[in-house]
Chain A
Amino acid sequence: QSALTQPASVSGSPGQSITIPCFGTSSDVGSYKLVSWYQQHPGKAPKLMIYEDTKRPSGVSNRFSGSKSGNTASLTISGLQAEDEADYYCSSYASRRVWEFGGGTKLTVL
């Protein structure tokens, strides 16, 4: 049972936009500007896509964006491409001084 809740799967067609929610609580997502998102392709290490709720690391496509409202963070991918098909994980710092991950969302590009 993961501390943060994500849908198990989402799907979209090439060119469309999708949003992956990450549901937390007032002890994690809602308390800190420290939500991050990771992309993981099969057999590969995770890659940082979004940090501090909304910021994008250098080199990450601007098709990826992050947002947050209350205890819910979201990752939006616009202009879906085949290479975006992967697992996506949210993470947040929590009040117990630990870090938490969501259970992961499998993105399928139809």
Chain B
Amino acid sequence: EGQLVESGGGLVQPGGSLRLSCAASGFAFSRHWMHWVRQAPGKGLVWVSRIINDETGTIYADSVKGRFTISRDNAKNTLYLQMNSLRAEDTALYYCARGGIVANAFDIWGQGTMVTVSS
């Protein structure tokens, strides 16, 4: 079935940086597009970014474009999100999600890692 485990969240000051990781297991990681989705406390889901399976081909939500960088290491079965110039409004639980092949949707989700941007 597959599993995703996020890490790297924490408390950071406005303007700071953080790098999130998402370790994948139990499936052929390199075959799948991967996404980051975030959820601010008490709020809804917001799509952040996507990377296609060959480590190129990235796209971002307007709210993070130019500040966040998605990447992946297929040899390590790991997805990353480099977050720079962080703002208070970036405070959220960050989920990594697998883009399905049979099911063209976000078919597997991690448990999320919390990012808090505050002074």
Interface residues of A, CB < 8 Å — how many? 23
In contact, A99 and B103 (Cβ under 8 angstroms) = no
Cross-chain contact of B50 among A47, A99, A100 (Cβ < 8 A): A99
Interface residues of B, CB < 8 Å — how many? 21
The DSSP consensus for interface residues of chain A is strand
Cross-chain contact of A104 among B44, B97, B107 (Cβ < 8 A): B44
Q: Give B66-112 interface residues, CB cut-off 8 Å to A.
A: 95, 97, 100, 103-107, 109-112
In contact, A104 and B103 (Cβ under 8 angstroms) = no
Instruction: Answer whether residue A46 sits at the interface, using C-beta atoms and an 8 A cutoff.
Output: yes
Q: Which chain A residues lie closer than 8 Å to B110 at the CB level?
A: 45
Chain B residues in the interface with A (C-beta under 8 A): 35, 37, 44-47, 50, 59, 61, 95, 97, 100, 103-107, 109-112
